Amino acid sequence: MRKFNFSAGPAALPEAVLLQAQRELLDWGGRGCSVMEVSHRSPEFTEVAETAEQDLRDLLAIPQNYRVLFLHGGATAQFSAVPWNLLGGGDRVADYIRSGHWADKAIVEARRYGQVNVVASSEDRGFTYVPGPTSWRQSENAAYLHYTPNETIGGVEFDYVPAVTCPLVADMSSNILSRPVAVEKFGMIYAGAQKNIGPSGLAVAIVRDDLLDRALPGIPRSLNWKVAADAGSMDNTPPTFAWYLSALVFKWIKGQGGVEAMAEQSLRKSSLLCGFIDRSDFYSSPVERGSRSRMNVPFTLADAALDHLFLQESKAAGLLNLKGHRSVGGMRASLYNAVPVEAVEALLVFMAEFEQRYA
Ligand code: PMP
């Protein structure tokens, strides 16, 4: 029996998608084999690849002058790919916003290849808020500005797109496809697949055409966006099963009403949970109001000694993977697209009962 899964990633996938994959696993569309067992260059797989790209383009209204890439290595490979691909255009300074754990990972990687200017940081209050644009000190000639629209661990999310003069690069791993986004405001967007897209290992990248010729000399072939773009993301064998499953997820999102519908649901789910936490004296949110993520909701119990019991009992109640990240402690409920409103309702019933028994 499937349970409600609040995992931060790899995370819940739509049940309808898993059922379809299951049906097609041994005999994909009457071909007598699975999608994993055919050439990535075959006409059958080419159709999967092209449909996935078109559906993603439709969902995010991606303009024609952007390339859509399906890449290996998750989001972490893109932490390196971003400086490798963008710091060769003359200027070696890159601006970064420090908003938490994942922004830091990106910064560490960029420092290996160029000069990083930290434009703003929310370290002073433990990365519990989005650093407001009035405090930013952008470089005059940055090759790009990188930020993390949603910090998966801290549970902090930007609710606006920063206005910058250089190409804007975003790690949307944990909030892509959860709301409409004005792609034309970005130079490059990337996301690890394992939250709102599909299985882990795959990353989706959206790159503006004119940024494909700025790579540093010596860039590894496997990180080179231009090589990937020229080869239709098939310079070498791509993760075909992850690509196929992502294609099913894109269709599923379309069927649900697109990213507008996802945005409505996300707001509903996160408001239900955050509202409940705010009304309670027993649970609290470490994230400042106005900066709270609709995708990842961390919360703590009044007494951390109860954490273990909370996790044990919630699991027994069919509510999976609520443990917070070790760096934050407490709990975290991730509310990605495939997590239904009923999951949040069941969580609230459990939380209320738990509070009654132990407060
Ligand atoms: N960026 C963000 C915002 C993430 O949440 C994660 C993974 N949780 C990563 C990057 C790293 O992704 P991957 O494990 O696919 O490399």
The enclosing domain of 308 has a CATH number of: 3.90.1150.10
Binding site membership of 9 for ligand 1 (Cβ less than 6 Å): yes
Non-local (6+) Cβ contacts of 315 within 8 A are 322
User: Is the pLDDT confidence value at 157 over 90?
Assistant: yes
The last residue of a domain, from among 256, 290, 314 = 256
In this structure, the answer to whether residues 201 and 311 fall within a common structural domain is no
pLDDT at 93: 95
User: Is the pLDDT confidence value at 91 over 90?
Assistant: no
Of the candidates 274, 323, 321, which has an alpha carbon nearest to the alpha carbon of residue 294?
274
The model's pLDDT over 7-48, given as tens digits with 9 standing for 90+, comes to 999 999 999 999 999 999 999 999 999 999 999 999 999 999
For the segment 272-286, the average pLDDT, to the nearest whole number, is: 97
For the segment 107-123, the average pLDDT, to the nearest whole number, is: 97
Q: Which residues of 127-144 are buried (b: 16+ CB within 10 A; e: fewer)?
A: bbbbbeeeebebbeebbb
Strand order in the sheet with 296-301: 283-284, 296-301, 331-334
The closest residue, in CA terms, to atom 12 on ligand 1 is: 75
Q: Is 160 helix (H, G, I), strand (E, B) or coil?
A: coil
Beta bridge partners of 47: none
Of 91, 95, 104, 171, catalytic: 171
Binding site membership of 76 for ligand 1 (Cβ less than 6 Å): yes
Measured in Å, residue 238 CA sits from the centre of ligand 1 at 19
The closest residue, in CA terms, to atom 15 on ligand 1 is: 74
| Catalytic residue list contains 104 | no
Secondary structure letter of residue 357 according to DSSP: H
In this structure, the answer to whether residues 308 and 171 fall within a common structural domain is no
For the segment 230-244, the average pLDDT, to the nearest whole number, is: 98
DSSP states along 16-72: HHHHHHHHHSSSGGGSSS-GGGS-TTSHHHHHHHHHHHHHHHHHHT--TTEEEEEEE
Q: Which residues of 68-95 are buried (b: 16+ CB within 10 A; e: fewer)?
A: bbbbbbbbebbbbbbbbbbbbbebbbbb
Of 102, 225, 243, 252, catalytic: 102
In this structure, the answer to whether residues 83 and 208 fall within a common structural domain is yes
Q: How many domains does the chain have?
A: 2
Secondary structure letter of residue 161 according to DSSP: P
The overall average pLDDT reported for the chain is 97
pLDDT at 133: 86
In this structure, the answer to whether residues 268 and 236 fall within a common structural domain is no
Binding site membership of 99 for ligand 1 (Cβ less than 6 Å): no
Beta bridge partners of 69: 205
Non-local (6+) Cβ contacts of 103 within 8 A are 96, 97, 146, 147, 148, 151, 171
Q: Is 249 helix (H, G, I), strand (E, B) or coil?
A: helix
Around Cβ 52, how many Cβ atoms within 10 Å?
25
For the segment 230-258, the average pLDDT, to the nearest whole number, is: 98
Around Cβ 239, how many Cβ atoms within 10 Å?
22
The last residue of a domain, from among 234, 256, 278 = 256
Cis peptide before 162, with omega less than 30 degrees from 0? no
Residue of 99, 153, 174 best suited for mutating to test ligand 1, as the one with most atoms within 8 Å of CB: 174
**Within a domain: residue 4?**
no
The model's pLDDT over 117-140, given as tens digits with 9 standing for 90+, comes to 999 999 999 999 999 888 899 999
The model's pLDDT over 290-322, given as tens digits with 9 standing for 90+, comes to 999 999 999 999 999 999 999 999 999 999 999
| Structural domain boundaries, residue 350 | 258-358
Higher pLDDT, 217 or 135: 217
The last residue of a domain, from among 217, 237, 256 = 256
| Catalytic residue list contains 105 | no
**Within a domain: residue 325?**
yes
In this structure, the answer to whether residues 241 and 268 fall within a common structural domain is no
Nearest 10 degrees: CA dihedral of 297, 122, 107, 134? 120
In this structure, the answer to whether residues 77 and 120 fall within a common structural domain is yes
pTM of the model: 0.98
pLDDT at 90: 82
